[in-house]
Amino acid sequence: MSALTFTLKAANNRNIDCKKLIPDYLQGKSIDAISSIVLGNQTVADVFDVQGDDATTLIFKNTTPQLHYIGYRMKTGSITIEGNVGDFTGAEMQGGVLICKGNTGERAGDTMRRGILLIEGNTGDYCASNMRAGTLGLLGSTGAYLGYGMKRGTLLLSQNPAEQATWLDCGLHTLPFLNLLYQSFQTLDTKFAQFSNRRVRRWMGDVSGLGKAEILVLQA
Amino acid sequence: MKLNGVQIDETFAEAFNMRGTRVLITAQNLKWAYNAANAMTGFATSVIGCGVEAGIERELAESETPDGRPGVSILMFAMGSAVLMKQLETRMGQCILTCPTAAAFSGLDSEDQISLGKNLRYFGDGNQISKLLPDAQGNNKRYWRIPVMDGEFLTQETTGMVRAIGGGNFLVLGQSQPQVLAACEAAIEAMKKLPNVIMPFPGGVVRSGSKVGSKYPKMFASTNDAFCPTLKGTVKSELSDDIESVMEIVIDGLTFEDIALSMKVGIEAACALGPDNGIKRISAGNYGGKLGPHLFKLHDILNGNLSSEAEKA
Question: Stretch A180-192: mean pLDDT, rounded?
Answer: 94
| Phi and psi, residue B189, nearest 5° | -55, -40
**Rounded distance between C-alpha atoms, residue B103 and residue B150, angstroms:** 12
pLDDT at B311 over 70: no
Q: Chain A 107-126, CB below 8 Å of chain B: which residues?
A: 114, 116
Return the pLDDT at B212.
Answer: 86
Contact A177 B68 (CB under 8 A): no
Select from B68, B134, B152 the Cβ nearest to the Cβ of A175: B152
pLDDT at B160 over 60: yes
Q: How far is A194 from chain B (nearest CA, A)?
A: 15
pLDDT of B141-155, one tens digit each? Answer: 999 999 999 999 999
**Rounded distance between C-alpha atoms, residue B21 and residue B89, angstroms:** 12
pLDDT classification of B298: cutoffs 50, 70, 90:
very high
Proportion of chain B above pLDDT 70, given as a percent: 98
Find out whether B134 and A188 touch, Cβ atoms under 8 Å. Answer: no
User: Where would I find the H helices in B29-140?
Assistant: 30-40, 47-50, 81-91
Contact B154 A180 (CB under 8 A): yes
Proportion of chain A above pLDDT 70, given as a percent: 100
Proportion of chain B above pLDDT 90, given as a percent: 90
Return the pLDDT at A111.
Answer: 98
- Count residue pairs from A and B with Cβ separation < 8 A: 60
Beta-strand pair A78-81/A54-61: parallel
**Rounded distance between C-alpha atoms, residue B102 and residue B71, angstroms:** 9
Return the pLDDT at B50.
Answer: 95
Is residue A197 less than 8 Å (CB to CB) from chain B? no
Return the pLDDT at B141.
Answer: 94
pLDDT of B41-86, one tens digit each? Answer: 999 999 988 999 999 999 999 999 999 999 999 999 999 999 999 9
Return the pLDDT at B312.
Answer: 52
**Rounded distance between C-alpha atoms, residue B204 and residue B57, angstroms:** 11
Of B123, B237, B311, B142, which is closest to residue A114 (Cα–Cα)? Answer: B142
**Chain A interface, mutation test: which of B125, B133, B153, most A Cβ atoms within 10 Å?**
B133
pLDDT at B19 over 90: yes
pLDDT at A115 over 90: yes
Say whether pTM exceeds 0.80: yes
**Residue A185 host element (H or E):** helix A177-185
**Rounded distance between C-alpha atoms, residue B198 and residue B18, angstroms:** 13
pLDDT classification of B309: cutoffs 50, 70, 90:
low
pLDDT of A142-182, one tens digit each? Answer: 999 999 999 999 999 999 999 999 999 999 999 999 999 99
**Rounded distance between C-alpha atoms, residue B190 and residue B267, angstroms:** 10
pLDDT classification of B308: cutoffs 50, 70, 90:
confident
**Rounded distance between C-alpha atoms, residue A72 and residue A23, angstroms:** 11
**Rounded distance between C-alpha atoms, residue B49 and residue A49, angstroms:** 70
Question: Stretch B19-36: mean pLDDT, rounded?
Answer: 98
What percent helix, strand, coil does chain B show, rounded to 5? 30, 35, 35
Indicate the range of A74-83, A188-197, B304-313 predicted with least confidence. B304-313
Cα separations in angstroms, B237 against B208, B225, B226: 16, 7, 4
**Rounded distance between C-alpha atoms, residue B296 and residue B11, angstroms:** 8
Question: Stretch A109-131: mean pLDDT, rounded?
Answer: 98
Which amino acid, A107? Answer: R
Give the burial class of B63: count Cβ atoms within 10 A of its Cβ; 0-12 exposed, 13-18 middle, 19 or more buried.
exposed
Contact A180 B143 (CB under 8 A): yes
Question: Stretch B101-127: mean pLDDT, rounded?
Answer: 96
| Ranges assigned E (strand) in B38-97 | 53-60, 71-78
List residues of B whose CB lies inside 8 A of any A CB.
26, 66-69, 101, 103, 126-127, 129-136, 138, 140, 143, 145, 151-152, 154
Indicate the range of B115-119, B272-276, B287-291 predicted with least confidence. B287-291
Alpha-carbon Rg for chain A, nearest whole angstrom, is 17
Return the pLDDT at A13.
Answer: 75
Contact A176 B131 (CB under 8 A): no
pLDDT of A38-49, one tens digit each? Answer: 998 899 999 999
Return the pLDDT at B288.
Answer: 83
**Residue B250 host element (H or E):** strand B245-253
pLDDT classification of A1: cutoffs 50, 70, 90:
confident
Q: Which domains, and CATH codes, for chain B?
A: 2-15+165-312 (3.30.70.520), 18-162 (3.30.70.520)
